A and B are shown apart, each in its own frame.
Chain A
Amino acid sequence: NAGVMQNPRHLVRRRGQEARLRCSPMKGHSHVYWYRQLPEEGLKFMVYLQKENIIDESGMPKERFSAEFPKEGPSILRIQQVVRGDSAAYFCASSPPSFYNEQFFGPGTRLTVL
């Protein structure tokens, strides 16, 4: 069973560009979470999604950030008009419907904004 997959692993963008981060959950997992890890800090929750629904977006910045988990395909975290402060590692996690507190993490996407 393949683990949580994220791509790209590394992404470089210039200020003002858009960043799209993709996450494919483990097979059978219907819950997806996005976390951000700033340098020298722990992970901060951003958003929790189920298929076609945003369940909790309390950690998402109000502007420029959006997330989706369509019926088909991976979950997407989209950052519009990136700024240098968006440089971080973005981790996706997934969990099964039977026990959605046990989260399995992907390898992360490291975003660098120049």
Chain B
Amino acid sequence: AQSVTQLGSHVSVSEGALVLLRCNYSSSVPPYLFWYVQYPNQGLQLLLKYTSAATLVKGINGFEAEFKKSETSFHLTKPSAHMSDAAEYFCAVSDEGGTASKLTFGTGTRLQVTL
């Protein structure tokens, strides 16, 4: 069974500081990995995805994530936080091309950006 662990349910950073949101996964098959962002009372928006190509993945809004198989990690980073980045972030894993293409989500990390 697949699972995702997001360390830190709440992360607070100052505007302009580095953003680091942690995600570790467990999968018995090569995974597809995703980061989604959810703004209050809205649906999920895809930030970026890893699909077994390049291990460093660049997404929207200046975010990127690095797939590290040896650490089973897919941490999300952004060099400089902006107030508009305040939201909830979800890491998710899926089977690589399997029929069981459901996404398994982590419990989320709420990012707060302060002045």
Q: Interface residues, chain A, CB within 8 Å of chain B?
A: 4, 31, 33, 35, 41-45, 48, 55-56, 58-59, 91, 93, 95, 100-108, 110
Contact = CB atoms under 8 A, between A and B. Distances in A.
Interface stretch (B60-68, B71-79, B105-113): B105-113
Contacts of A45: 102-104
A75 B33 CA distance: 26
A95 B107 contact: no
Nearest to B105: A42
Contacts of A110: 41
Contacts of A35: 103, 105
Interface of A is mostly: strand
A59 B2 CA distance: 14
30 contacts: A31-B101, A33-B102, A35-B103, A35-B105, A41-B107, A41-B108, A42-B90, A42-B105, A42-B107, A43-B90, A43-B105, A45-B102, A45-B103, A56-B102, A91-B43, A93-B103, A95-B101, A101-B32, A101-B94, A101-B95, A101-B96, A101-B103, A102-B49, A103-B46, A104-B46, A105-B43, A105-B44, A105-B45, A108-B42, A110-B41
Interface residues of B, number: 25
B76 to A, nearest CB: 15
Residue of B90, B95, B102 contacting most chain A CB atoms (<10 Å): B102
Interface of B: 32, 36, 41-46, 49, 51, 90, 94-97, 99-108
Contacts of A58: 102
Contact of A100 (B45, B46, B101): B101
